[in-house]
Chains A and B, each alone.
Chain A
Amino acid sequence: MAKTNSMHHEPLIRISKRDGMVWWKGWLVRAAAIVLALLVCAVLIVFITGVNPLEFYASMIRGSFGSARKLWLTLQNTAILLCIALAVTPAFKMKFWNTGAEGQVLIGALASAACMIWWGNRLPGWLLLPMMAVVCMAAGIVWSVIPAYCRAKWGTNETLFTLMMNYVAMQLVSYCITYWENPAGSNSVGVINPNTFGGWMPSLFGQKYLLNILIVAALTLLVYVYLARSKQGYEIAVVGESQNTARYIGIDVKRVIVRTMVFTGAICGIAGMLLVAGTDHTISINTVDGRGFTAIMVSWLAKFNPIVMALTSFLIVFLERGAGEIATAFRLNESVADILTGIILFFIIGSEFFVSYQINFRRAHKEAGIKHD
């Protein structure tokens, strides 16, 4: 008796995988999650700070859309984050856990700074900038291929290896800063070539970030086509699903790993150049500022779709800029804004669960009741 009972006993909540949701329904769930997150935040804000939550959200939106300058800056920050996310995506799709984008971008940034310092005032821009792009890509590739080769050849753990390469890159930058710093001992390089603009990426139509944004837009299409349409992109997907299957159908897994990491390193190098030659015009160990890690989240949230990644990186930048604006507008510590960003991201990630799975509650008790009697 007991046996049959337990067999028929249905749990109160049962989770099952959905067979796929109409795309816009999925987005509706995500939008609902954001609305819900904003409501939770509003309650929290009123309790902690007593600030009117509507004004709070208005300034959050103003952080990104408040003026033409803010809009350009939002687009620029989105472009940089997206660029790094594009770089890490092929590797993650292959299930190669590259946690070293931070260092790969930083080493590209270092190469860019070196080119500007050494050749910025000697070579014309039309020659220097393409040359710089090559040098930066090469630097990024060196940083990504070392762990990739060791993984392919000796099976080293790529997560740890790439992570540790970040610190090597930081130390290398610190070391170079002691040579380039001005004044001596200050640990600050300052703006490189502030008067000659040697090695600075040019403004387009009076917009200094437009070139950055266009380059990243082009890269987005490139990565999209590479992953979705090319044979190499297909190989990446197969290796990611199962290395044994890949081997069985004759894919050289080691080669794919190294080749994909060359791709990652090259785009990271470009990101470093966009950061130094196109944005900061200086170098410090904080140049990448954690974006090498944030990019991983951008990539995963978008399920490795480069077009969707444009949206997820925009979302992250929007939250960051909103947080800064709130800190300024209400004289709040940015920690409050960080808490809100955390809540919003929590809901967004949570919404993915509801898009992929459905919750089935136990059916009405009638039938079970009758059986017991």
Chain B
Amino acid sequence: MKKLLSVVLMAALLVMALAGCSASGSNEADFKVGFIFLHDENSTYDKNFMDAATAATEKLGLTKDQVMFKTNIPESNECYEAAAELVDAGCDLIFADSFGHESFMLQAAQEFPEVQFCHATGTQAHTAGVANFHNAFASIYEGRYLAGIAAGMKLNDMIANGQITEDQAKMGYVGAYPYAEVKSGYTSFYLGAKSVCPTVTMDVKFTNSWFDIAKEKEAAISLINDGCVLISQHADSEGAPKACEENNVPNVAYNISTISIAPNTALISSAISWQPYFEMIVKNAKEGTEIPTDYCATAAEGAVILTELNAAVAAEGTQEAIDAAEAKLASGELKVFDTATFTVGGQTLTSYMADVDSDEAYTPDTEVVADGYFHESEYRSAPYFDIDIDGITLK
């Protein structure tokens, strides 16, 4: 009987050993890219990255074996281990998509200097001095500004129809955290709306979560009950658009078009397209040319896009107004954070020291107001506009 037992055990061991070896030998000298995602395609945030990664690598002719995806990687040591495993698998370039991945990517970059590491939304690359570690973001504030114009036009339309008075032109905004990325986003959205509807005001509510369908929906409903006649959001679920559809309140979304889930209220969405950036880093890593340390992709190169305008909801002439502003932004004639267009505590902003080089004490270190505008994303790709301007109320 003991014999039978040992035979069974031996067989089990052999099978495991064989299966373990069979494929680890496939080590071609090919170029490989690895992507690390916080969630999987069920999150609109990650789906946006995943679609761009697929499109960019396909366009550059990489086969499926040359592109590795690691999904559902939390912002912990697991991110470092995932990066290290990708290095083991032969990746020459590794990208991670979530803010909290940064420290762990940096750790991996220091350990594997021959591999290029790129990280979206991070802040440390420009001060870390690690040659193979890179940050990237996009000038999404331009997209939000343009989406804000669509919102302002809609408000004007509502005023002209007699639905609301000029003083009732109040928008609501559901934000994730009171973090510069969110603050910069809603301020640019507000300024876009204000550029066409001067009396507009805005209430902001934070959910303290990047993804919480129930909380986002709840926040949107409470804003609507407080008299907000148009809602926008910076959080990753469909909670707010759904609340708007149920209450028949126009909504401006982020990352994806929401026309399919809110056909009667979805106005337009702004989104970052990561495809141009991915194409650039893959090409550079493949050819061995340098990847920019801290790159801010712009609307002009197609990294900031607006999804289809919903003609059923939008006011007449919206597309023309957006196109005109877009051209002016591209030419530099129009600046989103033009200090002539907003006040802080009743005063025009003439100087602001921002915490561009992140440190534990949040020391402001860089003057970012010059030539009549706030220089967002110029000294570092991740946004640093974190000022509370007049007209916006934090709830």
Known: A187-B177, A187-B208. A282 touches B88 (CB 8 A): no
Q: Within 8 Å of chain A (Cβ to Cβ): is B375? A: no
Say whether A58 contacts B103, CB under 8 Å.
Answer: no
Near B by CB (< 8 A), chain A positions 194-246 give 194
Q: Within 8 Å of chain A (Cβ to Cβ): is B68? A: yes
Residue of B nearest to A55 (CB): B23
Residues of B within 8 A of A287 (CB): 76
Q: Within 8 Å of chain A (Cβ to Cβ): is B8? A: yes
Residues of A within 8 A of B64 (CB): 331
Could you say which of B320-328, B337-345, B355-363 contacts chain A? B355-363
Say whether A188 contacts B75, CB under 8 Å.
Answer: yes
Say whether B103 contacts A334, CB under 8 Å.
Answer: no
Say whether A58 contacts B362, CB under 8 Å.
Answer: no
Cα(A174)–Cα(B107), bound, Å: 25
Q: Give which listed residue, A28, A69, A70, A185, contacts B386 with CB less than 8 A.
A: A185
Q: Smallest Cβ distance from B175 to chain A, in angstroms?
A: 10
Say whether B107 contacts A57, CB under 8 Å.
Answer: no
Q: Within 8 Å of chain A (Cβ to Cβ): is B74? A: yes
Say whether B177 contacts A185, CB under 8 Å.
Answer: yes
Cα(A94)–Cα(B91), bound, Å: 50
Near A by CB (< 8 A), chain B positions 117-135 give 123
Q: Give which listed residue, B19, B74, B104, B362, contacts A191 with CB less than 8 A.
A: B104
Residues of A within 8 A of B393 (CB): none
Known: A279-B77, A284-B75, A289-B74. A188 touches B100 (CB 8 A): yes
Say whether B84 contacts A62, CB under 8 Å.
Answer: no
Say whether A327 contacts B71, CB under 8 Å.
Answer: yes
Cα(A287)–Cα(B77), bound, Å: 10
Q: Smallest Cβ distance from A176 to chain B, in angstroms?
A: 14
Say whether A328 contacts B69, CB under 8 Å.
Answer: yes
Q: Within 8 Å of chain B (Cβ to Cβ): is A61? A: yes
Q: Smallest Cβ distance from B187 to chain A, in angstroms?
A: 14
Size of the B side of the interface (Cβ < 8 Å), in residues, is 47
Say whether A334 contacts B40, CB under 8 Å.
Answer: yes
Cα(A328)–Cα(B81), bound, Å: 14
Q: Within 8 Å of chain A (Cβ to Cβ): is B166? A: no
Residues of A within 8 A of B22 (CB): 58
Task: Give the interface residue-count category, chain A.
Answer: 35 or more
Cα(A58)–Cα(B18), bound, Å: 9
Say whether B85 contacts A70, CB under 8 Å.
Answer: yes
Q: Smallest Cβ distance from B115 to chain A, in angstroms?
A: 14
Say whether A67 contacts B72, CB under 8 Å.
Answer: no
Q: Within 8 Å of chain A (Cβ to Cβ): is B92? A: no
Say whether B103 contacts A194, CB under 8 Å.
Answer: yes
Known: A186-B177, A188-B99, A334-B71. A61 touches B19 (CB 8 A): yes
Residues of A within 8 A of B29 (CB): none
Cα(A284)–Cα(B100), bound, Å: 10
Known: A69-B88, A328-B69. A184 touches B77 (CB 8 A): no
Q: Smallest Cβ distance from B156 to chain A, in angstroms?
A: 33
Q: Smallest Cβ distance from A266 to chain B, in angstroms?
A: 24
Say whether B72 contacts A334, CB under 8 Å.
Answer: yes
Residue of B nearest to A54 (CB): B19
Q: Within 8 Å of chain B (Cβ to Cβ): is A125? A: no
- B: which residues have CB within 8 A of A? 1, 5, 8, 12, 16, 19-20, 22-24, 40-41, 64, 68-72, 74-77, 81, 84-85, 88, 99-100, 102-104, 106-107, 123, 177-180, 182-183, 208, 355, 358-360, 362, 386
List 28 A-B pairs, Cβ < 8 Å: A58-B23, A67-B85, A70-B85, A174-B208, A182-B358, A182-B359, A183-B123, A184-B179, A185-B179, A187-B177, A188-B75, A188-B99, A188-B100, A190-B102, A194-B103, A281-B77, A282-B75, A282-B76, A282-B103, A284-B76, A284-B100, A286-B74, A287-B76, A289-B74, A324-B70, A328-B68, A333-B71, A334-B72
